[in-house]
Amino acid sequence: MKSLVPAAALAAIVACILPTLAATTPRPSSSPPHAQGPPVIRYPDVPLHSEVVVEVNDKGQVVRVKSTKPSKIQSFNLQTYGNALQMWIRRPDGSAQTGLYRVTYDYDPKTRKVARNVSMISAGGNWAKEEGAANVMMDLVKKQAEEARKKQEEQSGKLPSLNEIRGSPAPHTPKPTPAATLPP
C-alpha cells in the first residue's frame, strides 16, 4: 500500500499543474500573425506641403538637391526628396534648360493625391555637364554589386575541398580504356 501513496501524490501534482500549463500555452492559429490580412495604409489627415530646390543639367536630369523646406511628416519629406532626385525637367518639346528649379509637393487629404509643380528660379549653372543624380546612384549600386561579387568569389576560392574537410584522400577514378574501333 505504501507504493500507491507516492503515485497518488504525483497524480495530484500533475492534476494541479496541467490546467495552469494549458492556460499559458498559446493556441495554434490557422495562419501566421503577419498573414492575417493586407497591411493597413494610414494616410495623413492634414494637408502637407514641401519644397525642393534642384539643380538641373543640360539633359533635364536633376544633378543634386540644393535645399528643402520640409513638411510636418518625415516620411512625406523622404518621399518627395527621393522623387526630386529622380526627376527629369524638360519642356513639352523635349528640350531642357540648365538651371535652378523649385519643385513643390502638395498633399490633399480629401483626395489623397499629391500635386507636383515645377518652376524655374534661374537659368544657367556650372553643373550643365554633370551627370544626373539617378545615374550616379545607379552606377554606385552597380559598382557595389560588382565588389560584393568579387569578394564572394575570393571567399569561395579560399574554401577547402570536401575531401580535405573530411580528411580522406581523393577518390581514385580508373582511367578509361580505349574504345574498340569498328571496321568501316
Distances in Å between the alpha carbon of 133 and those of 24, 140, 163? 55, 11, 50
Whether residue 31 is contained in a domain is answered as no
Whether residue 15 is contained in a domain is answered as no
Whether residue 108 is contained in a domain is answered as yes
Task: Give the chain's end-to-end CA distance (angstroms, integer).
Answer: 98
Whether residue 138 is contained in a domain is answered as yes
In the beta sheet, which residues pair with residue 27?
none
Give the three-class secondary structure for 91: coil
In the beta sheet, which residues pair with residue 6?
none
In the beta sheet, which residues pair with residue 56?
62, 99
Q: Is the pTM above the cut of 0.75?
A: no
Give the three-class secondary structure for 139: helix
Listed in sequence order, the DSSP H helices in the chain are 4-24, 74-85, 133-157, 162-166
| Amino acid in the structure at residue 93 | D
Its domain, for residue 97, covers 41-149
Whether residue 173 is contained in a domain is answered as no
Per-residue pLDDT of the chain (184 residues; tens, 9 = 90+): 455 556 565 566 656 665 655 555 566 666 665 667 888 888 999 999 999 999 999 999 999 999 999 999 999 999 999 999 999 999 999 999 999 999 999 999 999 999 999 999 999 999 999 999 999 999 999 999 999 998 888 887 777 777 778 877 666 666 666 666 666 6
Pairing of strands 99-108, 48-56: antiparallel
Whether residue 160 is contained in a domain is answered as no
Whether residue 184 is contained in a domain is answered as no
How much helix, strand and coil, in percent to the nearest 5, is found in the chain?
35, 20, 40
Look up residue 104 and give its three cell numbers.
513643390
Whether residue 140 is contained in a domain is answered as yes
**What is the number of structural domains in the chain?**
1
Tell me, what DSSP letter sits at residue 63? E
